[in-house]
Structure 1
Amino acid sequence: MLGLQYFSFADLWSPLLLAATLLLAAGYLVLIGPLAQRFPGSAEVPLRQRAMFLGGLLVLYLAQGGPVSLLGHILFSFHMVSMALSYLIAVPLMMLGIPEWCWRALVRVNPLRRLSFLAHPVVAALLFNGLFSLYHIPVIHDYVMLHFTVHRLYYTVLFVTSALMWWTLINPLPESRRAGGPVKIGFIFLNMVLLTPACGLIIFASSPLYATYSDPAVWARAMGYCVSGDPAALLQAFGGPGFFGGLSPKVDQQVGGIVMKFIQEFIFASMLAYVFYHWYKKENGQDDPDLSGPSGELGDGALTRV
């Protein structure tokens, strides 16, 4: 399917990243199990919450180390699927899976407290959406895709800024929740608006923007970082990314922009409906806790009040 049969198991499943993912999962289970008693206020982590973290970790692995990652180096549309899975689905799931007492210990680390301003809703939204949009400027995107170290560093920064952005909506610490429904709704709208220009540029471009997906020689160099063997052999075997998927670079690019915008709109629209529903119930005197980590609330606010 989509040419995956031409690649080896190591190319498809990234054994080193798989091992790192399994180690991280084991570390999480040890932390919330045998080591939990070392943390003040620790408590049993519900099965549902454990499933959220492990599920988010699985989604992140599939997006960054599994077949989706490989396809993301071949087709721009799958690149956007990988980005959406990594930063709009995996991050919030993993955050919801971390118990309150772990977050409390983390945010009390002095270096992190000095950077707490980065979790301010407006700053966090501008950081993540700005870096995401900057990454998809063609010259920057192609440079990042062709330099492995820069690629990993940029993706790590996107992961961190995504977590800062989600902190406003998934704040597991009751003592740091400040804003009410209207502020949450405004924050969601802000994120929906900020990503629109980048997606619009991608969708309505009159020609392919990214050499990584349209120039066979550049594509082969980029592929050299995620598959084994000589990149020149890829050119000889396949001739370029056009061998896979059957879409022209322009159409593939348009599909990618639409997919990213659709997933983002669906996720944030769902959260918008949820926030508005619970805000309305509270305004009418009905006690109904919002959604969040362990306590079941959808929180907001920054790290500064911990």
Structure 2
Amino acid sequence: MNAPSWTDWTFDPLVVAAIAIAAWSYAVAYRRACRVAPKPPGVGHWLPYAAGLGVLAIALMSPLDEIGEQYLLSAHMLQHVAIADLAPALLVLGLRAPILPLGLPKAGLRWIAPGGKLGRFIHVATRPWVALPVWAIATWVWALPAVFDAAAASPALHALQHATLFYAGLAVWWLIVDPLPSERRKPHPIRLGYLGFTRLVSAAVCLPLTWLSTTLYPRYVDAPRAYGIDPLRDQQIAGAAMCLAEFLIFGIALAVVFIDLLGRDARLAERTDALLPRTRGTT
């Protein structure tokens, strides 16, 4: 078997069609939101969404997919981080207001409204007591060596693995970002707590892989050594890469929240300063 190079892409028609439909639907919603929103969306909306689609394309159609299935555990774990974490986070960031709900037609609004069919599902699926346990279960179960190796060997099970990881990621990032106008939106510290919980769940997978001195995944112990990486080193790279990705995601989210809080303090100070002359004049 010839090992794939990093230029060997596989263009799955279903994946290409799904990404194309997602991109076209977003472009329509973006144009509509630009027309009707008091403050039109900008690069801070479409760029994360486009990046999320790009991450999905790389994860599912680049050589990363075949290398992860046949040769390297590290490539497979990196693919999972992209599908379950990075892509969902970017897509949900791109969908936040005013894209949702102002970018939708009336029929779409009825669907995502709290009483609509999709709205009821979103409301339940993104509750903390649903989204967080589903994330934990998907992360841990699919990382079990026997289950992980079985999924890598079966195309159908592999597709199910990717689907559950992606939708679990969408649910948990929807909970954290909360892109729809909502009375239930939690304060920043609580949403950071949700994010911190997901990082701890992932740490239970990546830390053992990084530091264990024995291999856990028989499929990758017996895999061809086409890239010159021995099984234990491959496993340690997989764990370290996962831990680094989780740390960066949490660090960036923490920095964004901190900057937002500073901006709010600055705006409050400006409003207070504007009132001072009037206040002094009345004393």
Is TM more than 0.5 here? Answer: yes
Q: Which residue of the partner structure matches residue 145 of structure 1?
A: 152
Work out the CA distance in 2 between the residues paired with 1:141 and 1:65: 20
Give the counterpart of 1:164 among 158, 161, 171: 171
Q: Which residue of the partner structure matches residue 81 of structure 1?
A: 78
Paired AA for residue 147 in structure 1: S
Structure 1 residue ranges without an equivalent (≥5): 217-239, 289-306
- Residues 169-248 of structure 1 mapped to structure 2, 5 A cutoff: 169-216=176-223, 240=224, 242=225, 244-248=226-230
Work out the CA distance in 2 between the residues paired with 1:174 and 1:118: 17
Distance verdict in 2 for CA 1:20–1:278, change over 3 Å: closer
Work out the CA distance in 1 between the residues paired with 2:19 and 2:261: 37
Question: Which is higher, the Rg of structure 1 or of structure 2?
Answer: 2
Paired AA for residue 202 in structure 1: L
Matched, 1:100 2:100: yes
Work out the CA distance in 2 between the residues paired with 1:179 and 1:45: 23
Paired AA for residue 191 in structure 2: K
Give the counterpart of 1:249 among 231, 234, 259: 231
Work out the CA distance in 2 between the residues paired with 1:117 and 1:3: 44
Aligned length: 255
Q: How far 1:92 sits from its partner (Å)?
A: 1.6
Q: Which residue of the partner structure matches residue 56 of structure 1?
A: 52
Q: Is the 8 A contact 1:184 1:275 kept in 2?
A: no
Identical pairs, percent: 23
User: Which of structure 1's runs of 4+ aligned residues deviate more than 6 A?
Assistant: 40-43
Cα offsets for 1:138-194 (capped at 9, x unmatched):
011111222222221221121111111111221222334532133123223222222
Distance verdict in 2 for CA 1:24–1:100, change over 3 Å: closer
Q: Is the 8 A contact 2:89 2:173 kept in 1?
A: yes
Scaled by the length of structure 2, the TM-score of the pair is 0.77
Instruction: Report the 3-state secondary structure (helix = DSSP H, G, I; strand = E; otherwise coil) of the residue aligned with 2:124.
Output: helix
Q: Which residue of the partner structure matches residue 226 of structure 1?
A: none
Distance verdict in 2 for CA 1:76–1:176, change over 3 Å: farther
Q: Which residue of the partner structure matches residue 275 of structure 2?
A: none
Q: How far 1:261 sits from its partner (Å)?
A: 1.0
Work out the CA distance in 2 between the residues paired with 1:123 and 1:276: 27
Q: Which residue of the partner structure matches residue 128 of structure 1?
A: 135
Paired AA for residue 112 in structure 2: V
Work out the CA distance in 2 between the residues paired with 1:22 and 1:184: 31
**Bigger RCO (CA 8 Å, 6+ sep):** 1
